[in-house]
Chains A and B, each alone.
Chain A
Amino acid sequence: MTAAVSKPNNAIDAVGLTKIYGSGNTEVVAMRDATMHVSQGEVVALLGPSGSGKSTFLTSVGLINSPTCGQISIGGRLIQDGETAHVNLRSFRRQHIGFIFQKSNLIPFLSAVENIQIAMELNGESKRAARQRALTLMDYLGVADRADNLPSMLSGGQQQRVAVARAIANQPSVILADEPTAALDGHRGRQVMELFAKVAHEQGAGVIVVTHDHRALDVFDTIYEMEDGLLRQQSSHSLAAQSQAD
């Protein structure tokens, strides 16, 4: 339906993404012709019921899970066209994309601070500088006192915050978060959302956050909703209604 539109000042251009899992009898169309443009500094919320395809969309945009068809451009550059990748996805992810996933985000044998450090060290940062920045981020997220603990010794919410710190550590141009605040209380959840907004505005990153937490929707610039694999943008009217309903 849409031609591949990508503007240089867009952080993310996902055009006509379709994902079909399996084949024949077991075929599942998890995502159907999904299109989304996120400009630099924009923070997008993605809502939708369970199984609607939110994670599928996010992992496609995050270059982890190639779509069956459709194009993904990051920073105006075509990266993925259907199942064909135009760059080394792994090193592209390392440099440009920060992730927070629904669960088990951290490497169990590394301490909290090392989990953040490793992302920066892989990106060529010196050990010292990486540790310094990791501690600063942890301090900002209120988990600095847990720096040397293993993930298994952290609460779910603390783990999520460490994952947030790791996702933004390399100052990525794209941040993708799949229910990052599910394990956090209202206040902390809001704080994390505000942090995303801050990073987006300061670094010009495009941010997509899957959330069920309607209380913090006002932080977002745009709201999309997914249902049965179909993606559509919500009008600002229904947005206000939704905020009120909570």
Chain B
Amino acid sequence: MNLATKDIRHNLGRFALTAVGIGMLLMVVMGMGGIYRGVVEDATLLIDNVGADLWIVQRDTRGPFAELSRVSSNLVYRAKAIPGVQTSREFVYHTIQRQRGGTPVRIAVLGLSCPTDRGEWIPLTAGRPLGQAHFEMIVDRTLGMPVGEQLTLGKETYTVVGITSNMISSGGDGLAFFTIADAQAIQFETPGEAVRLERAARESRGEDFELAIQQPMILDNAFRPSAQLPGVARPQVSAVVVTLLHGTDVESVAETISGWGDVSVFTATEQRELLLKGSVEKVRRQIGLFRVLLTVIAAIIMALILYTLTLDKIHSIALLKLIGAPNSVILGLILQQALILGFVGYGIAYLLGQQLFPKFPRRVILADSDLLQLAAIVLGISVLSSFLGIWKAMKVSPNEALS
């Protein structure tokens, strides 16, 4: 006769409620692990998807994912000239926060060097890649914009043409892909009044300028877009990404580029490391610590629950001892209940998680290794936390059955 299941059947409602409680607690532990995975995965996703061999960024910066990086866009051609370089693309990346339908929406803007790159590499769940050089965008599902939706950023209106999923910045914001030109326009977007003021200032500076006094026509230049002004830098990009021909030694190309005084260069692996050690490190540690804390709390709560379950049965346990049940029977009763509770709780956690986690704002990734690890932890907790109950049960004297 299995006493553990008999007792559970007798107190089914209570046991079920307890199991659901433990299940939800374990679901949070599981979710924390999943969020941790998600943060790491999301942080490196972009780097992996861009598929660059080398990242050329502003000198002494750690690249656009870590801090502000500005390099001249003509760097693309310098990089292209190095033997072994297959492609060299501009990379524009920055985050904006705008208002959409009354709620704030954060968008990580990423520029594609159209027409060579129309975003064909982006896994689309709906729509198509970019079709024209301007005013189109591909957005991540989490931004909640359907194909065809129009969004005004600065002076222009952009139309959603494609939807992708799981394209998240390391900060957890959904990505939106534009052409480089559009991405720059969004980044350097200046209100008309600011442009007018700047041109007026330019003109007044020019009036005091020796050359302008001799050649008054030169002042007309003040009213042209800054990109067309002679001797003024072109709009800059965040980084230049380079892919290499098959068989080219990454280190030697990196060596060449690192000789240039205005830029720093990172391999894809280094860029990954930078991200994990840099911007997401604190989040990662925070979540990791939370996970440990939650596991400990789950253990304590389970121990208390098993202890009270044992206390409730203490009279029966004394009676069992009285009629001569050996310790193994009593130990088995408590241990089996602990394991059943742990097992059912874990099952509930898993099933609930499957339903709930996809609704979370950030990605929750339940990796098999994490699930197995948690299962082992739950097993450990179940056994360990039943010790308190077992200790109590071993201590009770058969006499107590008589009172």
Contacts and interface: CB of A to CB of B under 8 A. Distances in A.
Interface of A: 55, 59, 64-65, 90-95, 99, 101-102, 104-110, 114, 117-119, 121-123, 127, 150, 166
Contact of A91 (B313, B326, B402): B326
Contact of B1 (A65, A91, A121): A121
B316 A109 contact: yes
B320 A107 contact: yes
Contacts of A114: 1, 6
B1 A90 contact: no
A109 B6 contact: yes
Contacts of B322: 64, 93, 99
B400 to A, nearest CB: 10
B324 interface: yes
Contacts of B6: 109-110, 114
B323 A99 contact: yes
A94 B316 contact: no
B1 A93 contact: no
Contact of B401 (A101, A121, A166): A101
18 contacts: A59-B402, A64-B322, A64-B399, A92-B324, A93-B323, A93-B324, A101-B401, A104-B315, A104-B319, A104-B401, A108-B10, A109-B313, A110-B1, A114-B1, A118-B1, A119-B324, A122-B325, A122-B326
B321 interface: yes
A117 B326 CA distance: 16
A93 B320 CA distance: 11
A95 B398 CA distance: 16
Nearest to A178: B402
Contacts of A91: 324, 326
Contacts of A105: 319
A159 to B, nearest CB: 13
A145 B238 CA distance: 85
Given A90-B325, A114-B6, 5 more contacts: A102-B402, A105-B319, A106-B319, A110-B1, A119-B324
Contacts of B320: 107, 118
B214 interface: no
Contacts of A106: 319
A94 B401 contact: no
Contacts of A101: 401-402
A219 B398 CA distance: 30
B220 interface: no
